[in-house]
Each structure stands twice: as C-alpha cells, then as structure tokens.
Amino acid sequence: MNFIDKIKHYTPNTITTTKFLTLTEQAQLSNKCKYIDYSLYGGYPNAEYKRGFINTDIKDIICYKILYNRNFLTLTHQNVLGSILALNIERNTVGDILVEEDAFFVTGELKDYIKNEFTAIGKHTIDLIEIDGSNLTRTIHLDEHKQFIDSMRLDLVVSKITKQSRINAKTMIENDFIKVNHLVSNKPTKELIEEDIISIRKYGRFVILDTKNRSKKDKIVLKYGKYV
C-alpha cells in the first residue's frame, strides 16, 4: 500500500504516528489532514524528513551524535546512510543526517537496535551517544541565479531554469516532471510566488528567492536558488 492509500483512511478519530516522510509525503499528508489534528516534526526546527503525528503529542524521535577518529574517517551523508541501511533498516525510519553536526535522527522504535548495531562506518569503528537534537540546524546551500522573465508562469520559469524552449517546458509539466512545493503540478499557467519550491526531474530542486524588482524593459528580475 502506498502512502496516499494509507492516509485515505485517516479520520478525525485516527491516532497514529507515521515513519519519516519525504517532502512530497508531508505535502500529501497536509492536504489530507486539513480537518484532522496533526503535526509534522523531524527532531529539530528546520528538518527535511519529518514524522507525522496524528492526534498525538508524543514526538518519538531519537538523535544520535557520532563519535569517531577524524584522522581516519570523513563523514558524508552517503557513508552514514549507507552504513545504517546495511543493518537492514528501512529508509523511512531514518530522518535527517547532519554531517556538519556529526548527528542523525531515527524513530524511537530503533533506539536500542541502532545503539547496539551501528558500530562502524566502513572499516572504521564509531561510538554513538544520544543527544538533544532540538537545537541543531541544517545548513542549506544554494547556488543563486538571476533571470529576466515576462511573468511567473510555471512554464516560463521552468523554461528559464532548464534553458529549454517554452514548448519543451510545457511538455515536461504536462508529463508530471515538475513539482511545486513538493506536489506534482501539471498546469503550465500556474503562477509562482516567492518561496515556492520547484523540483524538476533530472535538473534538481530550486526555490524562488525574489521577484520584486523590474528591469528597464519592465521584465521581472527573477532571483532563484538551486539546492546543492
């Protein structure tokens, strides 16, 4: 059963906690739960992966800090996640991995298993200590760009970002290659606004930063950032 099928059964009387959700799944849950008491939380304020808490305030998320020898091991998102998944752990039980903080989040159900089994990354031994991760932050890196554009229609913005023709951009949109704020958007005429996030298959994820300024030819000065 996929995630959309699961949340179809949620009602105002549902009491449940989801696994960690992707941004798309979070948006789907928010659409479904407009009239249901729910919250999304990933262990710290600006988490990307979050658990959904339906009619419950119990936030069962554990944060571990990795202790290791920096002379022999460099942490990366890939080697931390790969080592965890090698323990036959499902991806949706692992939240954000903050390599700059040497920390990661897991569901509370995995607390003891992770502590006992996650003892190495590659050939290098590690130790874990449980910490309060609520004050950690995720560093977001953006490669900023500027374009001049006639309007903030989705097809025009996609065309500018991808350097494809407007016809090709429209085809991409109509073939569900584009997400706006993590949900598929297949309307080329959709108007975008600041802080909208656009995900374009094979091109990456982008955020609209500024549309307030105009050029001498009265075009919109579109500033956007690509997540890197």
Beta-bridged to residue 147, according to DSSP, are 222
Average pLDDT, the chain: 95
Distance, C-alpha 103 to centroid of its chain: 17
pLDDT digits (tens, 9 = 90+) for 160-202: 999 999 999 999 999 999 999 999 999 999 999 999 999 999 9
- Is residue 19 helix, strand or coil? strand
Q: Is the pLDDT of residue 1 over 80?
A: no
Report how far residue 26's alpha carbon sits from residue 20's, in angstroms, rounded to the nearest whole number: 9
pLDDT digits (tens, 9 = 90+) for 5-51: 888 889 888 999 999 999 999 999 998 888 899 999 999 999 999 99
Q: Please say whether the structural domain 61-135 has been given the CATH code 3.30.70.20.
A: no
Helix, strand, coil share (%) of the chain residues, nearest 5: 25, 35, 40
Read off the pLDDT band of 209 (50, 70, 90).
Answer: very high
- Is residue 215 helix, strand or coil? coil
Report how far residue 214's alpha carbon sits from residue 219's, in angstroms, rounded to the nearest whole number: 5
Report how far residue 37's alpha carbon sits from residue 54's, in angstroms, rounded to the nearest whole number: 6
Q: If phi over 0 gives left and psi between -120 and 50 gives alpha, with beta otherwise, what is residue 3?
A: alpha
User: What average pLDDT does the segment 220-226 reach?
Assistant: 98
Contact 213, 128 (CB under 8 A): no
Domain ranges of the chain: 3-54, 61-135, 142-227
* Assigned CATH topology for domain 142-227: 3.10.290
User: What average pLDDT does the segment 56-68 reach?
Assistant: 95
Matching residue, tokens 């050029």: 215
Q: How many residues does the chain have?
A: 228
What pLDDT score does 97 carry? 98
Read off the pLDDT band of 118 (50, 70, 90).
Answer: very high
Report how far residue 203's alpha carbon sits from residue 172's, in angstroms, rounded to the nearest whole number: 12
